[in-house]
Structure 1
Amino acid sequence: MAPRFLTSLIPHRGRFESGQPLMQVLRGLTWLQWGHFIAGYIAWTSDAIDFFSVSLSVSHLKTQFNRNSVSDITTAITLTLLLRTAGAVRTLFHKHFVAEFYLFDGYAIGSASFQVIFGILGDRFGRKWPLVANLLVVAALELGSGFVQTFHQFLAVRSLFGIAMGGVWGLASSGALENLPVEVRGLASGVLQQAYAVGYLIAAVINLYLVPEVSAGWRSLFWTGAGISLFAAVLRALLPESDLFLRAKAVQDAAGVSAKKQTSIFIKETREMLKRHWLLCIYAICLMSGLNFLAHGSQDLYPTYLQVSKGMSDHDATVATIIGNCGAIAGGAIAGFSSQYIGRRLTILYGILILSIGAFIPLWILPTGFSALAAGAFWIQFCVQGALGVIPIQLAEMSPPAFRATFPGVVYQLGNMVSSASAQIEATGGNHLKTTLPGKTDLVPDYATVQGILVGAVAAFVVVVVIIGPENHGFHFERYKTAFVEGGGRDEELSEDRDSSFSEIEKASSSRPPSLTVEKEAV
């Protein structure tokens, strides 16, 4: 008999026999459910705009701060990476890429730490105000990035920004998905995750059309990003707290449990969760390390690869990058939708094994013309980001139910930490493998071959990790106790037997959408 981790890949339509058709569920969503999702989407989009503002301004920053010396840039990188344990080993890059890679290389450890703090606050005190506070900090640091006058000031502000940006994803994704009916969460997951690609697109468009036209130049990109982050914070502040969190808190208040006691319970249940789920944490970090390696390995070096190894202009490389991000947006939505019917893991496997390895890596790296390379960028990002599009809901369903703000965000950022080496691997490999541009004899780094090998090898690793891993497809995590309720760390369901006051709260919420009413039957 086949092992369970293989048989569990077979789609089980019976899980959704009692569910409603997707379009019917979408039409039945309340304005509040749409509002929570849109707020999370814009928060994640603004995070991407803020991050990619630097990568799109590399040439302007080198001119602004007169940083043409390799040793000066390397010293600046080292100072930045002192804030990051994982980045301490990365001190030297090829001279053409120093200014680019320190921007991608450093943020993971601090981001993970910030995610731990804000994730815990989100699970203990609610999704709303921790996310608002996080976005305000990000907006302030992004605004400050546009006012710095020296390179050292810039490094200091961006280092703090790198730490702060780590808290957004977990809070945004948990708040966006947990208020939606289970039938729509797959599609919502794919759309939500690709808000990052949308943010990259918006930043690229601003850089192409606004920056050259205003006297502020590159600074205008940072100021625009700060404004969008502030807008995301204001939008989330105007919306109420997550309905599920409010109802759980009402249960505790009705039972006479004080805030101090709730915090004590939270600490106790957190210890219980770590004791029960430490192996799951390790698995999720391995999964996110592989998927983030695929994402960064196919994105971070891509514009430089087109210019150096394919001879494209800066404008054409930017356009090709935009086309690739369009593929990411389409792939995320389609894969998220598909995962609702064929399962989360099988969707990831289709995207990586069949499409990415089997068909589109050659199209991504072998052509020399713009059209073919842009097509390769579209399809490789369609596959890779399609797999990543399943991740918000896969991690939410896999997560200990009471810790959906902390667990997904922390493992996501730790995966980013591991994958931060991808740019260095490709840059170092390109220095050893050489090629020539069409019609020329000068040797240039062969980043195409290096990227193809890296992405192919990591894809094989992800396939293995996904096959042997768990899946809770269609899991009703809204039926379980929160982290500040006794039993939350032990994954106990809410029920009238366990909590007599809950039935009264449920009756009071009977006018809410059926998908937000906690059901009694066992999962």
Structure 2
Amino acid sequence: MNQNELGASDRASGGLSRRDQWHAVTAGYLGWTLDAFDFFVLVFLVDVLAVQFGVPKSAIIWTLTATLAMRPVGAVIFGVLADRYGRRGPLMANVVFFSVIELLCGFAPNYTIFLLLRMLYGIGMGGEWGVGASLAMESAPKRLRGLLSGILQSGYSMGYLLAAVAARIVLPNLGWRAMFWVGGLPALLALYIRFNVKESEAWKQHRVPTMGAVVKTAVSYRRIFSYLALLMTLMVFLSHGTQDLYPDFLKSVHGVLPKTVSYLAILYNIGAIL
């Protein structure tokens, strides 16, 4: 193979080098992983926070619901920003936003403040996937996009797994507040994106859509759009309806020790990744 062929084979679709491709995919994966970590930290703290804030466990469970309810808001906000200003900048802003909110959760003095912070976190949580996945898939080699999309999604289970590790190591040694402080570390990912990730070439070549154009496109593809919306709704209903409360279910109903719950969560998330 001559030098020109080598150069061509090392260039990605849209003109990105192979190195640039993998930086973009890595950023998308880490963003999704760390976003999930920050969410699932709470599922190991339901009983602890109920005692800490002097509220019933149902109130802490409501914070999970409130977080998820705010995800569509974040998806729309950061989706619009990503279409208008590119994928890279909004992704950095999103990661910093949800990391700072997570950090502040560790300083919450009462339940009301904690609930408000978790709702704000939900906005950041909802914004990460669309922007991060767009950047990763638009930058990835076309022939590997199917495989990489699966790996990218597995980052959610990896985040849950890391939250279980934190519940086993951080919680018993440093307390519940430190669990959220650790969740502030993902802000460092913004530095990785700033210095290593290039803007999506696909975005550079597109025109910023108007809201009318977005609605028109959704209507034009209403069958597939409705199918995918329903599919995602049911998938999230089933996944969050079971996995979010499973650690507390094991502790409260079956009397499983917290450290054993952490080990079990690690195991079932390894299965989810595989």
TM range (shorter): 0.7 to 0.9
Q: Distance in 2 between matches of 1:211 and 1:315?
A: 10
Deviation at 1:167, TM superposition (A): 0.5
- How far apart in 1 are the matches of 2:188 and 2:230? 34
Which structure has more relative contact order (CA 8 Å, sep 6+)? It is 2
- Whether contact under 8 Å (1:55, 1:103) holds in the other structure is no
2:19 paired with 1:31: yes
Instruction: Quote the residue 1:20 is aligned against.
Output: none
1:56 maps to a residue whose letter is F
What aligned pairs does 1:484-523 form with structure 2 within 5 A after superposition? none
**2-side partners of 1:187 and 1:162: how far apart?**
28
Residue 43 of structure 1 pairs with residue 31 of structure 2: yes
Q: Which has the higher helix share?
A: 2
> 2:5 maps to which residue?
none
Q: CA deviation at 1:308?
A: 4.4
Q: Measure, in 1, the Cα distance between the counterparts of 2:71 and 2:81.
A: 15
| Unaligned residue ranges in structure 1 (runs of 5+) | 1-23, 71-96, 250-261, 331-523
Q: Quick one: which of 205, 216, 239 aligns to 1:295?
A: 239
The answer to whether the Cα contact below 8 Å between 1:111 and 1:165 also exists between their aligned partners in 2 is: yes
Opposite residue 233 of structure 2, the aligned amino acid is S
Distance 1:328 1:25, change over 3 A: farther
Kindly state the Cα deviation for residue 177 of structure 1 after the two structures are TM-superposed.
1.3
CA displacement at 1:270 relative to structure 2: 2.2
Alignment pair present for 1:210 and 2:135? no
Conserved? CA contact 1:58–1:99, under 8 Å? no
Does residue 1:115 correspond to 2:72, yes or no? no
Using the size of structure 1 for normalisation, the TM-score is: 0.47
Work out the CA distance in 2 between the residues paired with 1:307 and 1:141. 28
Distance 2:110 2:252 in 1: 29
User: Matched residue pairs, number?
Assistant: 261
Contact 2:44–2:247 (8 Å) recurs in 1:
no
Deviation, structure 1 residue 99: 4.3
Displacement of 1:267 in angstroms is: 4.1
The yes-or-no answer on 1:201 pairing with 2:161 is yes
Long gaps (5+) in structure 2: 1-9
Q: What is the DSSP-based 3-state SS (H/G/I as helix, E as strand, rest coil) of the residue aligned with 1:169? A: helix
Partner of residue 273, structure 2: 329
Corresponding residue of 1:233: 190
**Matching of residues 244-393 of structure 1 within 5 Å:** 244-246=202-204, 248=205, 266-330=210-274
Give the Cα separation in 1 of the matches to 2:146 and 2:63: 32
Contact 1:52 1:203 (8 Å CA) reproduced:
yes
* 8 Å CA contact retained: 2:67, 2:120: no
Shift, 1:110, TM fit: 2.3
**TM-align CA RMSD:** 2.4
Contact 1:211 1:218 in 2 (8 A): yes
* CA contact 1:25–1:183 (8 Å) conserved in 2: no
1:153 Cα deviation after fit: 1.6
Equivalent residue number for residue 64 of structure 1? 52
* Structure number, greater radius of gyration: 1
Regions of 4+ moved over 6 Å: none
Structure-2-length-normalised TM-score: 0.86
Shift of 1:150: 1.8
Deviation at 1:25, TM superposition (A): 11
Structural mapping, 1:401-480, within 5 Å: none
SS at match of 2:226: helix
